[in-house]
Amino acid sequence: MRPADLERVTVAEAADRYVELVRAKTVTGALSPATAEVYARDVATLVELAGAGTVLDDLTGEDVDALLLAFARRPDGRRSPASSASRDGAGSGSGPGSGGGQSPSSQARFRRSISALFKHAALAGWVQLNPMAAATVTAKQRGGLRPQRRALTREQAQGLIGAATEQAQAPPPRQGRRDQRTELRDAVIVLLLSTLGPRVSELVRANVEDFFTNDGVRYWRIFGKGGRTRDVPLPPGVDAVLQAYLEQGRTPASASGAGSASGDGKALLLSWRGRRLARGDVQAVIDRVQRRVDPEQRRSVTPHGLRHTTATHLLADAVDMDAVRRVLGHSDLSTLGRYRDELPGELEVAMRAHPLLRAKPPR
């Protein structure tokens, strides 16, 4: 029997009241406006998935499980074709196949948001019991619902690298202003991400002076997490494209010192206006290069997905684990396990080339 003071509000009514309360907390400084809008967006998604007319108290733990799984499968709207163009010449676009399932971090955020709603609902008398306590879907299960692996296959990665290299070697187009061309810069971004796997924050923080040559090999001194640095040698092909970019691709605006007052003049990656590229601009660059890839080899990927790609293929090619750890900038070998994705057919290849069954070399 329900208590007399239970208020059987619908999901939509509960959401409206809760969001109003959350936004009121921004006035007192208890919540930032950005955090409040995140809560509001997630609660609106809950209304959409559960049904506006559903009574909040009727939702069970099984219903919450279904909601969490439904959210995990939703397309990621942050990379929809309707997304606005990136500012300042970075370009825009969403690669083919974009709009996959939600990332684990988005799923965890959604769970926190609706948990906060149900906690308030229990205190306000909208539900008898908090159904989140009966939810059984684990974070691992939700994260496993991603429809695509994060790492590109060898063919997909080679297609992306090939498109970036061809773009760097192609003659500049005759149309358009010379100081607004970004082909070489875009190629450098894709090649560095695909072959060295830096964090996107490390990439956009890079300065020209961070690249140096020692005994004929160019290195990138990467400033990583926790104040740690690592010197990573560039593959020859990547070095050649970087050199072309430094000589031809950095815009006259930046070369003449525009933006130097804010420190942008030192940045490796610049927009055509001479400003340091932002983290959010990098995805648009990847998507733009992807459009040059053969459709048979093309698959949408994030900057972090290219970090997974680097780790996966270096390890699959039997590169020393400690060397891979140093390339990626991890302090512990055990962390590599999170960046190693399975590759189709890799077990068959390993068994065909088993070291104990190889023929002895002739004497």
Question: What positions carry a catalytic annotation?
Answer: 199, 225, 304, 307, 330, 339
Phi then psi for residue 298, to 5 deg, are: -90, 135
Burial classification of residue 168, based on how many CB atoms lie within 10 Å of its CB (0-12 exposed, 13-18 middle, 19 or more buried): buried
> What whole-number distance in Å separates Cα of residue 187 and Cα of residue 167?
7
> What whole-number distance in Å separates Cα of residue 64 and Cα of residue 46?
10
The residues, any chain, with a CB within 8 Å of residue 345's CB and separated by 6 or more, are: none
Query: Can you list the pairs that 318-326 forms with residues at least 24 positions away whose Cβ atoms lie under 8 Å?
Result: 326/230, 326/232
How far is CA 163 from each of CA 55, 151, 187, 284, rounded to the nearest angstrom?
Answer: 53, 18, 8, 15
> What whole-number distance in Å separates Cα of residue 190 and Cα of residue 264?
21
Kindly report the length of the chain. Answer: 363
CB count within 10 Å of CB 115 equals 15
Q: For 263-283, b where at least 16 C-beta lie within 10 A, e where not — what string?
A: ebbebbbbbbbbbbbeeebbb
Q: Residue 246: CA atoms inside 13 Å, Cβ hemisphere, count?
A: 15
